[in-house]
Amino acid sequence: MEYAIADTCFLIDWALWKRRDVIFDLFKVVFTPELVLREVRSERTLEWITDMLTRGSLALFTETPDILDIARSLVERSRMIPGLRGVDLPEAVCLAAGKLRGYLVLTENRGALMAVDLLEELRDVKVWRALEVIAEALRRDIIKTSNPRVIFKEYEDETHHRFPRRDLEVILDELGR
């Protein structure tokens, strides 16, 4: 995957990590929708996003009518399916871009993660959390370490984001092979 699109929750956490720029070794460009930028309130996150936009590592994604139509439909459908957490418009825009443009979606939003599993029209959309991004950076030796657990712990400590233990152990087991 050369291109990714990131939502608010992903960017807010990711911007806090000292190794945050490794993402640009994985993707040619990471897009961020205009709707997502409107949600960011943290000065530190905005500063990092602005710096990366200036460097061309992040690119602004302008929502087009076709993307917005799909996104609005996803928001509505996510509210109608029992057991599915609702998806808000900024995350739905990322999912729609993933569907129409083939971008990998970066999110920590549980509703968006569930939607990919439960909505047939999103079955082909690839979604990664920080867990998968870090794992891929470790696989490609972008982050070098003899103990991957230390890198995941570092991320958790710096961002205060906790990885689901079962998912983390699966990744660590895969990386240990």
In a domain, residue 49? The reply is yes
Span 111-165, pLDDT tens digits: 999 999 988 899 999 999 999 999 999 999 999 999 999 999 999 999 999 999 9
In a domain, residue 57? The reply is yes
The model's pTM: 0.94
**Residue 23: pLDDT above 90?**
yes
* Helices within the chain (DSSP H only): 8-14, 23-26, 34-39, 43-55, 65-80, 89-101, 110-118, 130-139, 148-159, 165-176
Structural domain span for residue 83: 3-128
Domain count, the chain: 1
In a domain, residue 117? The reply is yes
Which tokens is 48 given?
């990092």
Of 123, 131, 63, the C-alpha closest to 91 is 63
Across the range 39-56, mean pLDDT stands at: 91
